Amino acid sequence: MSVGKSKGTLVWILAFLSFFAGLNVFNAVMLLTLQRGDFIAEFSFMGIMLGSISAMAYFLVSAIITFVLLGFTFFFMFHGLPADPEVLQRLARAEEALALNTNMLENTQIGFFRRLEENEKATDEAFRKMNINLEDTRKGTNDALERQRRVLQEVQKESKKNADLITKQATDVSSVRKRVKKIEKALSPSKAMLTSKSKLEAVKGVKPRLAEGLKTMGITNVGQFLTTDPSVIAGKTMELHETVTNLQAQAQLLMVPGIDANDAELLAKAGITSRKELAAQDPVQLCRAIVNVANTYVEKGKMSASHVPTVDDVWSWIRSAKP
């Protein structure tokens, strides 16, 4: 009889523990349902932290313990006990409670998974809308960038046209300036390099020995040098008559405004020996003769090509040489 009571007490204890474990299962399911996902649950008793565990692990452990306790309960209920109607009634009630708990667990699981599905659908819909918005934004951004690129291309084309126009205008202005300078040079009265009172040393080709001989003769300036017979100067200074004649020709030409020493030398080589001869020349014919001489000098390296006189220069000399 004591053995039966002991077994009955053990069965009640196991049934109570099974019910308590079932409550833990229900609690775990409620936590998962309310939080809509797995999380870490913390457990404490009277202010003492017992530990923390994942909610899903809490659910699984509680379910396993519940089934194990129920298994032990049924085992001890039917093992070694007589087929007592009261026991059978209790067993039936326990089975009903177990079925009720099972149904409750199934319903809770169904609701839990249904909510998970709804959450997944809502998340997928949100991502789909986000992707659509991102696609629209990307398309709008690409369109805006394409418009800006076209505008920049148009601006670059206009800038290039303006730069070409400015370059052309600058070239035209430079050409006009050169023409104006030539016109100003032709119209403005130039100063002659020599006057009748200039010193002998100002005449290119008058060497110091010749200058001393001329001073001995009383010739101290260009005017006296030009008015003295070249034969007399050649006889008293021991210089060649041709040399004195060329020097006098260059001195005359240097007294014409706009003619420098190089120009006077080119005129002398071209056969121009006096101001009167220069004034009577045709500008084109004289320019041809001077250019022929100048090209020879350029080939020998005695003159730069940029210093070759032009028709405008020759025309200016002839005009200045006229009385």
Domain map of the chain by residue range?
2-133, 200-321
Burial class (CB in 10 A: 0-12, 13-18, 19+), 104: middle
Task: Specify whether the backbone of 305 is left (phi greater than 0), alpha (psi in -120 to 50) or beta.
Answer: alpha
Task: Specify whether the backbone of 47 is left (phi greater than 0), alpha (psi in -120 to 50) or beta.
Answer: left
* pLDDT of amino acid 50: 47
Check whether 189 has a pLDDT greater than 60: no
How does residue 184 score in pLDDT terms, banded at 50, 70 and 90?
Answer: low
How does residue 199 score in pLDDT terms, banded at 50, 70 and 90?
Answer: confident
Q: Where is mean pLDDT largest: 122-136, 155-169, 276-290?
A: 276-290
* pLDDT of amino acid 146: 87
Selected residue with higher pLDDT from 75 and 37? 75
pTM of the full structure? 0.39
State the Cα–Cα distance between residues 229 and 172, nearest whole angstrom: 53
Across 124-128, average pLDDT: 82
State the Cα–Cα distance between residues 162 and 175, nearest whole angstrom: 20
Check whether 282 has a pLDDT greater than 80: yes
Task: Give the model confidence (pLDDT) of 57-70 as tens digits.
Answer: 777 887 888 888 88
Helix (H) or strand (E) holding 122: helix 85-187
3-state secondary structure of 181: helix
Burial class (CB in 10 A: 0-12, 13-18, 19+), 173: exposed
Check whether 46 has a pLDDT greater than 60: no
